[in-house]
């Protein structure tokens, strides 16, 4: 048992486990010590100095974020001198920060702006020395403005440690320190996989999503264009945060309505594409697992940052990859073929906009020739949840009052299996439900596969279907992938049975609910609440298995034929190739 | 210098340091000694050979101002301005070198023959003040001994021409 520590914070007695920092201990007694560089996902780096506190008996002020509480400490978190030091730190940061709040992508949602407001800084006494550094928009997924960087190091920690991508680093030192793509080149030439976790963790506007809203507005105003939208699973439980709904509120119906009011002529659901992905992927799995066609484990391919990561660093596992396109890409190709044909609309006029929790989806729509399987670019623009929230606000739509609406068919109906794609483990769970049906002819008696749920970095388990054991693994956060792959490679080299039959990988911690394009301020608490919103919808739904989706059945009957059939292969599947990059 | 020769050099340097913990800086010194600076291609090759992220390599070579990212002159004259050398008259030496070569610290001469720079501590303070010219270490340097060495370098280049 760990030792308990007793101490006093601002006169309040506090009891915590040994090792808990002063910052976290203070929160237990409702004392909020201000922070700037500290993020709950990341180790404290003590870079900024905002969280200083005073400990009785020591002259030095200590940083609460990285100092463990010790027995009998008497801590003061506010006094005139502490406040003065904090104000000086903020003032120094502001002296190096461009005064561009009104036109900044993080305005009203910036941790530095908020802190400056809380401390009531009305004037600064220091000369402004904003460095003259160029924007990097080369990825067309995230925009890096190094002038706005406060060198807290969060993005680097995420990129190097959590994601193991090593696309970002600090260069130079002291006052010249700047954030840059590794090797001082453009981000697009770096190992960056465009996951956008840097933007999700940046406290300021130094890294934000690449804004594609202007192109969408233009098309919406074009009377010739037939604009259609699709929304991803994780968007529905996160968009509400931009409108002060409780975290995790499912706003599917309101989002459909808002999109129609903005001018979209049809509103589809990416969840339909998710159900379709499961149909194809579960059949692919059965082919490999039961009929020995191609290698195991089968590895999921819905996450574009993961696909990019694999092509850059692990191209030896291309044969293991599911050839299924992502749900976004499937809905895109069907909108310009199936939907167009059934409704006699010229596919050249259809403009497909996808709303995704993701910055990498902006890259996915262009990643290979299969992304134009309809004869046109299947998805024209991919927006993040954050961009959609801005568009709704700009449109003057009262998101609280707008009534809920239904999606458009043929690509709108979905099952609970499609919805849970948005949480880590969801694709695996959905696939297992349908794989069970394909093997036994019956739906599983219990729909929930709890081993795939939750925020543990790597989840492993076994299920038994018709006397056969299926070994599965789920990883989220790219840094966790290496361990799984190492195990699989070892077994392959030794000629042994693969350690897993089926592997799901999502690049972002928590899966898409924690995606790089979601509303700011993500923590494990938010990831859990957003995921809960998805699981709730799954549980309450009429259909919980992708193969039970009547519109998916109709699609196969009327158009595709069968899973993995010729037409499905042409519209719903893709290929991979190595994309070597420099060493990370 | 052809491409494969460059690669071979980097492979050799990486081999020497690869299995020694904390030796990235030594390998980078190796690169700079070989090429006179740290060329990008060589840094990328070193990353590959030593299994170190390129990000890490650039963090190091931009942190320490000793490392150069651009090709310097043929003769790199480094005047140590560390504490010991400074007290023993390094500023005077720097001023002299600057006048003799007609370039400011940090600059390369127009003909590409000389590059002058300040460094902070070469690690042999007992020999202060210290100046290095490429691999040659000049100890207990005076203005006269420095000028003599610079003349030797200049004459060598003239002879070659």
Whether A93-209 and A214-572 share one fold: the answer is: no
Q: How far apart are CA A239 and CA A253, in angstroms?
A: 12
Residues B58 and B82 in one domain: no
Residues B56 and B89 in one domain: no
The DSSP symbol for A556 reads I
Domains of chain A by residue range: 4-78, 93-209, 214-572
The pLDDT-based confidence of B2 (bands split at 50, 70, 90) is: low
Catalytic member of A302, A303, A358, A545 = A302
Residues B101 and B150 in one domain: yes
DSSP bridge pairs for A470: A463
For A160, which of B52, B55, B57 is closest by C-beta distance? B55
Chosen from A168, A174, A192, A583 to mutate, greatest number of chain B CBs within 10 A: A583
The pLDDT tens digits for B142-160 are: 999 999 999 999 888 788 7
From B63, B93, B115, the end of a domain falls on B63
> Would the CB atoms of B56 and A166 count as touching at under 8 Å?
yes
Measured over all CA atoms, what is the biggest interatomic distance in chain A, rounded to whole angstroms? 80
Domain assignment of residue B89, yes or no: yes
Residues of chain A with pLDDT under 50: none
B59 touches chain A (CB under 8 A): yes
Q: Cβ distance A260 to A267 under 8 Å?
A: yes
B56 touches chain A (CB under 8 A): yes
Domain assignment of residue B70, yes or no: no
The pLDDT-based confidence of B3 (bands split at 50, 70, 90) is: low
Judge whether A195 counts as a catalytic residue.
Answer: no
Q: Is the ipTM of this complex over 0.90?
A: no
Give the angle A584-A160-A367 at the CA atoms, nearest 5°: 65
- Non-local CB neighbours of B24 within 8 Å, separated by 6+ positions: B17, B50, B52, B56, B57, B60
Chain B residues close to A160, C-beta within 8 Å: 53, 55
Chosen from B53, B59, B64, B120 to mutate, greatest number of chain A CBs within 10 A: B53
Q: How many CB atoms lie within 10 A of CB B75?
A: 22
Q: How many CB atoms lie within 10 A of CB B70?
A: 10
Q: Cβ distance A422 to A357 under 8 Å?
A: yes
From B33, B63, B93, the end of a domain falls on B63
Residues B105 and B59 in one domain: no
Q: Cβ distance A431 to A502 under 8 Å?
A: yes
Domain assignment of residue B69, yes or no: no
Residues B96 and B149 in one domain: yes
Residues B139 and B79 in one domain: yes
Phi, psi for residue A456 in degrees, rounded to 5? -60, 135
Q: Cβ distance A171 to A281 under 8 Å?
A: no
Show the DSSP H helices in A110-231 as ranges. Answer: 111-118, 154-157, 197-201, 213-221
Chain B residues close to A583, C-beta within 8 Å: 44, 47-48, 51-54
For B59, which of A167, A169, A583 is closest by C-beta distance? A169
Judge whether A110 counts as a catalytic residue.
Answer: no
| Mean pLDDT estimate for chain B | 90
Domain assignment of residue B68, yes or no: no
Q: Is A171 helix (H, G, I), strand (E, B) or coil?
A: strand
Closest by CA to B149, choosing from B114, B104, B120, is B114
Please tell me which residue of chain B has the smallest CA distance to A184: B58
Lowest mean pLDDT among A52-66, B101-115, B129-143: B101-115
Judge whether A322 counts as a catalytic residue.
Answer: yes
For B58, which of A160, A173, A182 is closest by C-beta distance? A182
Judge whether A405 counts as a catalytic residue.
Answer: no
Q: How many CB atoms lie within 10 A of CB A31?
A: 19
Residues B51 and B19 in one domain: yes
The pLDDT tens digits for B70-99 are: 877 789 899 999 999 999 999 999 999 999
pLDDT of residue B4: 62
Query: Top-level CATH class of A214-572?
Result: alpha beta
Judge whether A361 counts as a catalytic residue.
Answer: yes
Burial tier of B124 (Cβ tally within 10 Å: 0-12, 13-18, 19+): middle
Q: How far apart are CA A143 and CA A268, in angstroms?
A: 29
Residues B54 and B85 in one domain: no
Q: What is the CATH number of the domain that holds B114?
A: 3.40.30.10
> Can you list the positions of beta strands (E) in chain B?
75-80, 114-119, 131-133, 136-138
Closest by CA to A455, choosing from A516, A508, A492, is A508
Q: Cβ distance A371 to A364 under 8 Å?
A: yes
Q: Is B138 helix (H, G, I), strand (E, B) or coil?
A: strand
Residues B83 and B153 in one domain: yes
Residues B83 and B128 in one domain: yes
Q: Is A163 helix (H, G, I), strand (E, B) or coil?
A: coil
What is the fold, at CATH topology level, of the domain defined by A93-209? Alpha-Beta Plaits (3.30.70)
**What is the domain range of residue B142?**
75-160
Chain B residues close to A170, C-beta within 8 Å: 59
Domain count, chain B: 2
> Would the CB atoms of B54 and A583 count as touching at under 8 Å?
yes
Closest by CA to A279, choosing from A184, A175, A383, A418, is A418
Q: How far apart are CA B24 and CA B29, in angstroms?
A: 9
Evaluate if residue B1 carries a pLDDT over 70. no
The CATH number fitting domain A4-78, selected from 3.10.20.740, 3.40.366.30, 3.40.720.10, 3.20.20.140: 3.10.20.740
From B12, B41, B63, the end of a domain falls on B63
Q: How far apart are CA A52 and CA A23, in angstroms?
A: 10
Residues B42 and B82 in one domain: no
Q: How many CB atoms lie within 10 A of CB B127?
A: 17
Q: Is A136 helix (H, G, I), strand (E, B) or coil?
A: strand
Chain B residues close to A169, C-beta within 8 Å: 55-56, 58-59
Q: Is A341 helix (H, G, I), strand (E, B) or coil?
A: helix
Catalytic member of A280, A364, A387, A504 = A364
Residues B84 and B146 in one domain: yes
A166 touches chain B (CB under 8 A): yes
> Would the CB atoms of A183 and B52 count as touching at under 8 Å?
no
């Amino acid at each position: 048992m760990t030792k308990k520590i007793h101490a006093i914070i601002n006169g309040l007695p506090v009891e915590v486990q040994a090792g808990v920092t002063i910052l976290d201990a203070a929160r237990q007694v409702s004392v909020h010590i201000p922070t700037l560089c500290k993020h709950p996902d990341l180790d404290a780096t003590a870079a900024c100095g905002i969280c200083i506190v005073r400990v009785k008996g020591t002259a030095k002020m200590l940083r609460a974020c990285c100092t463990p509480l010790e027995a009998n400490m008497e801590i003061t978190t506010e006094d005139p001198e502490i406040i003065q030091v904090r104000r000086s730190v903020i003032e120094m940061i502001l002296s190096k920060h461009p005064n561009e709040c009104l036109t900044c992508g993080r305005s009203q949602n910036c941790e530095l702006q908020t802190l400056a407001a809380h401390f009531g800084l009305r004037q600064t006494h220091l000369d402004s020395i904003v460095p003259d550094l160029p924007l990097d928009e080369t990825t067309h997924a995230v925009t890096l403005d190094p002038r706005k960087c406060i060198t807290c190091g969060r993005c680097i920690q995420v990129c190097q440690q959590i994601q193991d991508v090593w696309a970002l680093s600090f260069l130079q030192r002291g006052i010249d320190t700047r954030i840059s793509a590794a090797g001082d080149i453009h981000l697009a030439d770096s190992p960056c996989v465009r996951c956008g976790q840097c933007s999700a963790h940046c406290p300021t506007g130094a890294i934000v999503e690449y804004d594609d809203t202007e192109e969408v507005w233009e098309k919406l105003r074009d009377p010739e264009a037939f604009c259609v939208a699709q929304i991803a699973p994780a968007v529905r439980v996160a968009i509400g945060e931009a409108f002060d709904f409780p975290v995790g509120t499912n706003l599917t119906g309101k989002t459909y309505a808002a999109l129609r009011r903005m001018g979209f002529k049809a509103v589809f659901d990416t969840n339909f594409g998710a159900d379709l992905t499961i149909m194809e992927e579960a059949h692919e799995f059965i082919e490999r697992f039961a009929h020995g066609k191609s290698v195991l484990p089968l590895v999921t391919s819905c996450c574009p940052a993961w696909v990019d990561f694999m092509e850059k660093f692990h191209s030896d596992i291309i044969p293991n990859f599911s050839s299924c396109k992502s749900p976004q890409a499937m809905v895109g190709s069907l909108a310009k073929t199936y939907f167009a044909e059934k409704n006699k609309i010229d596919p050249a006029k259809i403009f497909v906009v996808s709303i995704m929790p993701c910055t990498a989806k902006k890259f996915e729509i262009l990643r290979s020739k299969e992304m134009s399987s309809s004869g046109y670019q299947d998805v024209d623009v991919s927006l993040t949840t954050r961009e959609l929230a801005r568009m709704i606000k700009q449109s003057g739509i009262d998101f609280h009052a707008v009534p809920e609406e239904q999606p458009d068919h043929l690509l709108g109906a979905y099952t609970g299996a499609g919805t849970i794609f948005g949480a880590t483990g969801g694709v695996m769970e959905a696939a297992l439900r349908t794989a069970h049906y394909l093997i036994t002819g019956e739906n599983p008696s219990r729909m929930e596969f709890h081993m795939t749920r939750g925020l543990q970095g790597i989840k492993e388990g076994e299920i038994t279907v018709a006397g056969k054991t299926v070994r599965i693994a789920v990883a989220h956060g790219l840094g966790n992938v290496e361990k799984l792959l190492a195990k699989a490679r070892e077994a392959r080299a030794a000629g042994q049975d693969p350690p897993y039959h089926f592997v799901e990988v999502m690049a972002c911690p928590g899966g898409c609910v924690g995606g790089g394009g979601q509303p700011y301020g993500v923590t494990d608490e938010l990831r859990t609440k957003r995921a809960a919103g998805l699981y709730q919808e799954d549980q309450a739904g009429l259909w919980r298995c992708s193969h039970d989706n009547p519109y998916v059945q109709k699609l196969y009957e009327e158009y595709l034929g069968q899973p993995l059939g010729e037409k499905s292969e042409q519209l719903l599947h893709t290929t991979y190739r190595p994309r070597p990059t420099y060493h990370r | 210098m052809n491409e494969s020769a460059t690669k071979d050099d980097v492979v050799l340097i990486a081999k020497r340091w690869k299995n020694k913990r904390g030796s990235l800086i030594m390998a980078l010194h190796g690169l700079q000694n070989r090429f006179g600076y740290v060329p990008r291609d060589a840094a990328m090759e070193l990353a590959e050979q030593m299994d170190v992220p390129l990000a890490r390599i650039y963090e190091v070579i931009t942190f320490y101002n000793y490392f150069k990212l651009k090709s310097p002159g043929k003769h790199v004259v480094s005047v140590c301005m560390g504490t010991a050398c400074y007290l023993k008259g390094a500023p005077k030496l720097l001023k002299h070198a600057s006048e003799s070569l007609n370039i400011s610290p940090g600059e390369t001469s127009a003909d590409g023959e000389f590059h002058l720079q300040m460094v902070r501590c070469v690690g042999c303070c007992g020999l202060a003040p210290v100046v290095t010219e490429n691999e040659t270490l000049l100890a207990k340097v005076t203005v006269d001994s420095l000028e003599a060495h610079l003349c030797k370098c200049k004459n060598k280049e003239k002879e070659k021409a």
